[in-house]
Amino acid sequence: MSTIHRGLTVTVVVEEEKLEQVNVLLHDFNQHAKTYKTAYKEHLPSTYFISWLTLPAQVYAEKVKLPARILFMTSYVGSKKQHISELVNFLGPRLQAVFEISKEFSPSIANLDDLAAFIRRKTVFQAFYSGFKFIPTQDVSREQEIKSTVFDFLETQRENADFPKKSPASVKEDIENFVKNQDEFGWASAGLSDKKADKVRMLLPLGIFLLAMATSLVCLVLSFFMDYAVLSWMGLVFPAFLVILVLLFIWLRINENNPHIPNEPVSDEWIRQIIEREKNPVLNEMTVIAPLKKGLIRRIFLGLSLRLITLVGYFSYIPTVHTARWLQLDGGRRLVFIANFDNISEAYAHDFVDSDNRSRNMAVVFSHAAGFPATKWLVKRGYNHRSEYMKGVRFHQKITQFWYAFNTGLSVENLKNNRKFREGLFQKMEEEEIKEWLLTN
């Protein structure tokens, strides 16, 4: 079974006067999810997160009205087909009750198969990131349980006078013998399945892109020595890509000279409404949706950036982010960003602007959004970037009416350390590796 983490985003246009009707439904469904969280975990085993919200109409470039929308976004592990099947089988009536308020929902949808087909049709492209790749939901609880049980076991062992004299290898052997004798941990001795196939699948798009560029470069060199039309045509791919990229940067730089229009400060009451919803001690959610700055190049450049982010996503790591996604709506005129993260949104947002490296990366996406700090050649900051960035986040942040999280008590580092502990069980290690394993866990 695939253990790759993915995102699903479904969106439909809805009439503005019906937003409140949708909001009431989502609020009721959110209360249901809190009350019956165990049932959600049981019936949605592939699902890590669900964010379901309404988006009011917005204005692009001071004249183009962007429609109100319903957004349904999930983070899941494994097969998309299986995930959608789980959603419609468990949430079918709720999905239909919300989506049928939109005129895009066909009255002919009469069963779960039709509903699944509708979800697939209304799915849009996104750049998706996961901070704990290859960990399925069922492993989260049991890896936490085995580590906590072993910790309790070690606490009792410390009472033995000879325990401090034991070598790291002896302590590891004691742990493994203890685990073997616990029937509920029989799964641990089986080890982890090989993730090579999943890693290859994640890296395949980047590999194809690099192979195409390398092949073009080779063909370009060979075309100087061999008179074959195919070599000449293939050799043009790499230089054409570079030329287009340079022209896009120049076009963007021209657009960057437009007057900067900052966002208005938001009220303290709005910030209180946002913070009031961030009640979990470890894990919370944030959604920011903004029209783009004026200019076709902004839409083109952001779309290209999101696709490049998708290519290199395997190598990305943000210590406090469980999952995140970026996407464009309404002909590319609107940016959607959603993150499930450790801490609260104020501290989380500052994680980006308080680091030069992360703020440069942030500018690749958010500099295109209306009111966010201006840039020069996409990366040079301007207009008091820290305060303007935070103002932009708060101004465009939306309240998520429905949010479900499989786990709200474990941080990204907790999840990764639990996995490292499990990986080390019953594995041969050198003395220094055992020390590191014991200290880490």
Q: What pTM, to 2 d.p., does this model score?
A: 0.93
**Does the pLDDT value for residue 407 go beyond 60?**
yes
**Does the pLDDT value for residue 12 go beyond 90?**
yes
Predicted local distance difference test score (pLDDT) of residue 322: 95
> Averaged over 224-241, what is the pLDDT?
91
**Does the pLDDT value for residue 372 go beyond 60?**
yes
> Averaged over 242-268, what is the pLDDT?
93
**Does the pLDDT value for residue 274 go beyond 90?**
no
Query: How far does the chain reach from its first CA to its final CA, in angstroms?
Result: 27
Q: What CA–CA distance (Å, rounded) separates 419 from 180?
A: 18
Give the pLDDT confidence of 185-230 residue by residue, as tens digits.
Answer: 989 887 787 788 999 999 999 999 999 999 999 999 999 888 888 8
Predicted local distance difference test score (pLDDT) of residue 24: 97
**Does the pLDDT value for residue 360 go beyond 60?**
yes
Predicted local distance difference test score (pLDDT) of residue 319: 82
Encode 297-331 in three state secondary structure: HHHHHHHHHHHHHHHHHHHCCCCCEEEEEEEEECC
DSSP annotation of 361: H
Using DSSP, state whether 167 is helix, strand or coil.
coil
Each domain of the chain, given as residue ranges in start order, spans 5-134+260-405, 137-194+411-440
